[in-house]
């Protein structure tokens, strides 16, 4: 039974990562590495922007995107969450349930197109109806959430690429 579950998770990871290529993130000639975060069951890969590399969970489904990083107390400096979309658009994000500040790196066609720095978590007990939303000023096909301050390392136009190979 455990093998069946692991096989199912790996298949889901590969399918989710396949959506990344549809979203035009740049892939080097190697294949993309798909592992799974056993707590969240989200696919995990390595993503590079310029000289910086991050281990990112991939939130491709609407349910995973709605949950995002909510309810986590913190995240390592070298980690992040990548939201991928089937079509380009101007998605809206909020910080419901967030406990630490983030930078939003808005991506289109494998390039940084906008950065929203230092998005703060809401005050305790803020009603959902009063939470601000954050959207890019232009079309994007992916959004990378990183710890606040990480966005200072990037410039508009920086290449965003997946960098590792598929393993089991």
Asked whether residue 9 carries a pLDDT value surpassing 50, the answer given is no
Q: Is residue 167 part of a domain?
A: no
Residue 58 phi, psi (nearest 5)? -105, 115
Q: Is residue 96 part of a domain?
A: yes
| DSSP structure string for 36-95 | E-TTT--EEEEEEETTEEEEEEEE-SHHHHHHTTTT-S---TTEEEEEEEEEEE---B--
Q: Is residue 168 part of a domain?
A: no
> Could you tell me the pTM of the whole model?
0.78
Number of domains in the chain: 1
Q: How many Cα atoms are found within 13 Å in the side-chain-facing hemisphere of 8?
A: 7
Q: Is residue 140 part of a domain?
A: yes
pLDDT digits (tens, 9 = 90+) for 43-57: 888 999 988 999 999
Contact (CB, 8 A) for 115 and 157: no
pLDDT digits (tens, 9 = 90+) for 50-103: 889 999 999 988 888 888 889 899 999 999 999 999 999 999 999 999 999 999
| Full residue range of the structural domain in which residue 151 is found | 2-162
Task: Give me the CATH number covering residue 63.
Answer: 2.60.120.1140
Q: Is residue 26 part of a domain?
A: yes
Q: Average pLDDT of 22-32?
A: 50
Q: Is residue 17 part of a domain?
A: yes
Q: Is residue 22 part of a domain?
A: yes
Q: Is residue 15 part of a domain?
A: yes
The predicted structure's pLDDT at residue 61: 86
The predicted structure's pLDDT at residue 29: 42
């Amino acid at each position: 039974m455990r093998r069946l579950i692991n096989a199912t998770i790996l298949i889901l990871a590969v399918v989710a990562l396949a959506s990344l290529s549809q979203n035009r993130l740049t892939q080097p000639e190697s294949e993309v590495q798909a592992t799974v975060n056993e707590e969240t069951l989200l696919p995990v890969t390595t993503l590079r922007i310029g000289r910086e590399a991050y281990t990112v969970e991939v939130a491709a489904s609407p349910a995973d995107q709605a949950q995002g990083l909510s309810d986590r107390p913190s995240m390592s400096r070298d980690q992040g969450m990548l939201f991928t979309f089937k079509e380009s658009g101007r998605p809206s994000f909020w910080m419901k349930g967030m406990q630490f500040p983030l930078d939003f790196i808005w991506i289109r066609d494998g390039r940084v197109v906008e950065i929203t720095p230092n998005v703060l978590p809401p005050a305790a007990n803020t009603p959902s109806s009063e939470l601000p939303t954050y959207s890019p000023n232009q079309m994007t096909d992916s959004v990378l959430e990183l710890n606040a301050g990480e966005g200072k390392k990037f410039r508009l136009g920086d290449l965003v690429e997946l960098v590792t190979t598929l393993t089991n």
